[in-house]
Structure 1
Amino acid sequence: MRYLSPMIQKHELRAAMRAARKRLAGLDPEAALRAAEHADKLPPAELVAVYRAIGSEIDPDALSLALNRQGRQLCLPVVIERDAPMIFRRWSPGEPLELDFAGVPAPFPLAEAVTPDLIVTPLLAFDAAGGRLGQGGGYYDRTFAALPAATRIGFAYAGQEVENLPVELHDIRLHGVLTERGYRAVP
């Protein structure tokens, strides 16, 4: 766990954590597979939102397959406007995708729009209090605010944990984090 100076700016922290995440991805390419072994520890949910990994984000493919084997239905987030919450469309592993407004692979518009019970989110850093540092676009925070009943789970490398994150009023905390070391609920 890294200690963060309270004076560090979020943009500096994002740059440092992008580099750390890239290093972690290179050091442990099997981390996502080990994390998926803990899929049964996630909170109950019928419909789970996962994501398509970009860059060095921990890849949820194995987790998606594990959740699917458990009988959980899946969906993916879709950015349709820059400053709006994301929507979610039903999806199953292997189905074709197209790029959304943000350039991220997403289900085609014909896929059913749904509301997930549990949202698995990528991140740059997290802390024990459920703080989450994202890429800075605000897509997940706007979506979390629009769907307050959804359980929010970060998916990350264990090495992305930091001592404490700077939290602003618009930042919405996670309910738990899944890493290659297992699932941990936020107290």
Structure 2
Amino acid sequence: MGVPDDETPGASFASPPCLMHELDPAFGGIGVDAQQRTDVARWRKAERERLIGARLAMPVAERQAFAERIIGRARDLIGNPAGRVVSAYWPFRGEPDLRPLMEWVVSCGGRPALPVVTGKGQPLTFRLWSPGEPLERGVWNIPIPAEGQAVVEPDIVIAPVVGFDPGCFRLGYGGGFFDRTLAARDPRPRVLGVGYARQGIATIFPQPHDIPMDAIITEAGVSEPPPGQKTEA
């Protein structure tokens, strides 16, 4: 699910921001000063645009084939979804289409859900939705479950990535919605990022607010955070 890019205004550039090479991603950007935060945000904006452009340039048939592989790997990681709430997303701007995965969740006795943006700077909420049920338009006209659908706490959250790094840190659309959502949940749901292998980058230069995914699923395989890396806010 895409959300508006509100991370920072201003110009963007594709080269590493000033002093970013001094940041140790293992420490999540602790101690980063205001200028570095601005540089990181500008770099992310440019990298986000590059990665989305590359994703949209992929042939539709290739994206569909990769999505099928991703769904197979996701099913293996989820296991039996019976009695559990699994939140996915509505495909946007070339993201892997996981609607067949939601159908599988229903067929196994699970309950699929979709995320809903309630306001800028606010955590997401999750509404139950099964294929065929009513939808309405949300942020950026992305379909969301119709008003009145039950709000739930998911056991598993599947989040699309614009980019990702070896620490399973997710580069999203810049709104910070997923990070706020995960930080507000106790206990935290299991979080699986999904994307294409070509969206992998050396680092997203993690900041204190960034929360790594429990795993990243691509058509090429499954990645998990390095042993000993902190995975909770």
SS in 1 for 2:212: coil
Cα displacement string for residues 156-184 of structure 1 (whole angstroms, at most 9, x for unaligned residues)? 11111112211111111111012223433
Quick one: which amino acid aligns to residue 172 of structure 1? Answer: I
Name the count of aligned residue pairs: 184
Aligned to 1:50: 88
Tell me how far apart the structure 2 counterparts of residues 105 and 175 of structure 1 sit (CA, whole Å): 26
Q: State the identity %.
A: 33
Aligned to 1:150: 189
Aligned to 1:168: 207
Whether the 8 Å contact between 1:24 and 1:157 is mirrored in structure 2 is no
SS in 2 for 1:162: coil
SS in 2 for 1:114: coil
Q: 1:23 to 1:48 in 2, by over 3 A?
A: same
Matched, 1:183 2:222: yes
Q: 1:175 to 1:109 in 2, by over 3 A?
A: same
Tell me how far apart the structure 2 counterparts of residues 68 and 42 of structure 1 sit (CA, whole Å): 16
Tell me how far apart the structure 1 counterparts of residues 59 and 78 of structure 2 sit (CA, whole Å): 26
SS in 1 for 2:178: helix
Aligned-residue offset at 1:74 = 0.7
Q: 1:138 to 1:51 in 2, by over 3 A?
A: same
Aligned to 2:22: none
Task: Point out the more displaced range, 112-121 or 159-168.
Answer: 159-168
Tell me how far apart the structure 2 counterparts of residues 82 and 103 of structure 1 sit (CA, whole Å): 16
Task: Point out the more displaced range, 97-106 or 79-88.
Answer: 97-106
Quick one: which amino acid aligns to residue 33 of structure 1? Answer: E
SS in 1 for 2:167: coil
**Higher helix residue share:** 2
SS in 1 for 2:203: coil
Cα displacement string for residues 86-136 of structure 1 (whole angstroms, at most 9, x for unaligned residues)? 100111122121012453211112111100011100111011211100011
Whether the 8 Å contact between 1:90 and 1:114 is mirrored in structure 2 is yes
Whether the 8 Å contact between 2:166 and 2:223 is mirrored in structure 1 is no
The TM-score normalised by the length of structure 1 is 0.88
Aligned to 2:109: 71
